[in-house]
Amino acid sequence: MRIEIWADVVCPWAYIGKRRLEAALADSAWSARDTDVVWRPYRIDPTAPAQAVPTEPDRRDPMIDAAAARCAVDPSTTQSRATAADRVPISRIAAAEGLGPNWGPAWRSSSHDAHRLLALAHEHGGSTLQDTVAEHLMRAHFVEGHDISARDTLRTIAATAGFAEAAALLDTDAADRTVRELRLIGKARGIRTSPTIVVGDRALAGAQPPDVIAEFLAAAGPERDVPEEVGRLRYAESLLDLRDPLGALTLLRPLLDDHGDDLNVRRLAARAYFTSAQLGRARQTLEQLVAEVPDDSYLRLMLGRTLQRLHLDDQAAPHLKIAAAMTPEFA
């Protein structure tokens, strides 16, 4: 069973959730089963600076409700030993999970490179190495007070975790595209909380107690084997529905390179071009598609509207008329 953890390494509930997942998997019902835990990137603070700044005092050890809000977690669903009404500091919850006694991030900065390191660890050493790196990253951030955006810190963490090769890779753009694409895939899949545990098509949001996690895992069915190209196309379509055409085009780029003659890929790209106001590309793509599939009313409609936005009303009119004749609701 592959268990994905979509989380930000600077989210306190991610570290707490890691301990709770480990407790669930340590149960005899799971210890003998073949499980593969994979970390996926999520970002709780898109405004975090690339250059680390000292953490504000109220952010070092906030109350559980404030900490949960910053991680997009409902406080009432993450506690097993306290409730949001108790307004206890997050360090008390962390200590109960064995993550003490010291607690409190000293720095606020982007976690992008930390997620690059996690992606590289999985690529080069699989889930076991990746999980070890995740543990060292979160301990460095929450307990030891290190700046995990600093390359030197990341190199030290990687070496301590047994991933010495990362030192050279971090100075390149290795895994940059992987992390950015995975974040888009998470968005397309509806990931809105750090952490979120995903098995197949089912998700469990928040740092839930071990018994809840175990129940979730027991009810999870086998993961469907979907070709990478099909999954990528579906995620791109979901991003379009979420009004993120540039994200959709990011996921479509490899498909356009490798499957540029596929009608579905080009149709989706045309929608993304149109929605993102790349009207020249939309027109070129749609004119080719309409020439190949002249009886597709939706393609005619998009081409007509594209030409209208380019102020080419005379050229748009025939396509809009044909689209309306074939599909009256397009009138």
Mean pLDDT for 104-132 is 96
Instruction: Give the mean model confidence (pLDDT) for residues 253-266.
Output: 94
Distance CA 275, CA 123 (A): 34
Could you give the number of structural domains in the chain? 3
pLDDT at 84 over 60: no
Helices (H) and strands (E) in the chain, counts: 16, 6
pLDDT value at 105 more than 60: yes
| pLDDT at res. 78 | 65
Pairing assessment for the beta strands 2-7 and 196-199 based on DSSP bridges? antiparallel
Rounded (10°) CA dihedral 302, 240, 251, 217: -150
pTM, whole model, 2 decimals?
0.92
Distance CA 104, CA 193 (A): 21
Q: Using CB atoms within 10 Å of the CB of residue 80, give its burial: 0 to 12 exposed, 13 to 18 middle, 19+ buried.
A: middle
pLDDT of residue 77: 66
Distances, alpha carbon 135 to alpha carbons 22, 118, 193, 204, 286, in Å = 12, 10, 19, 21, 49
Residue 83 reports pLDDT greater than 60: no
Window from 98-112, 176-190, 273-287 with minimum mean pLDDT: 98-112
Residues 287 and 321 both lie in one domain: yes
DSSP-derived secondary structure letter, 63: B
3-state secondary structure string across 112-141: HHHHHHHHHHHHHHHHHHHHHHHHHHHHHH
Do 130 and 249 belong together in one domain? no
* Residue 12 domain boundaries: 2-219
Residues 199 and 290 in one domain: no
Say what the pLDDT of residue 85 is. Answer: 52
pLDDT tens digits, one per residue of 208-247: 999 999 999 998 877 778 899 999 999 999 999 999 999 9
User: Are residues 68 and 210 located together in one domain of the fold?
Assistant: yes
Q: Is the dihedral of CA 280, 282, 288, 290 positive or negative?
A: negative
Claim to verify: residue 68 and residue 201 sit in the same structural domain: yes
Neighbours of 215 (CB within 10 A): 14
Out of 258, 276, 294, a domain closes at 276
The pLDDT of residue 79 is 56
At 125-180, the pLDDT tens digits run: 999 999 999 999 999 999 999 999 999 999 999 999 999 999 999 999 999 999 99
The domain boundary, picked from 199, 219, 239, lies at 219
Half-sphere exposure of 255 (CA within 13 A, CB side): 24
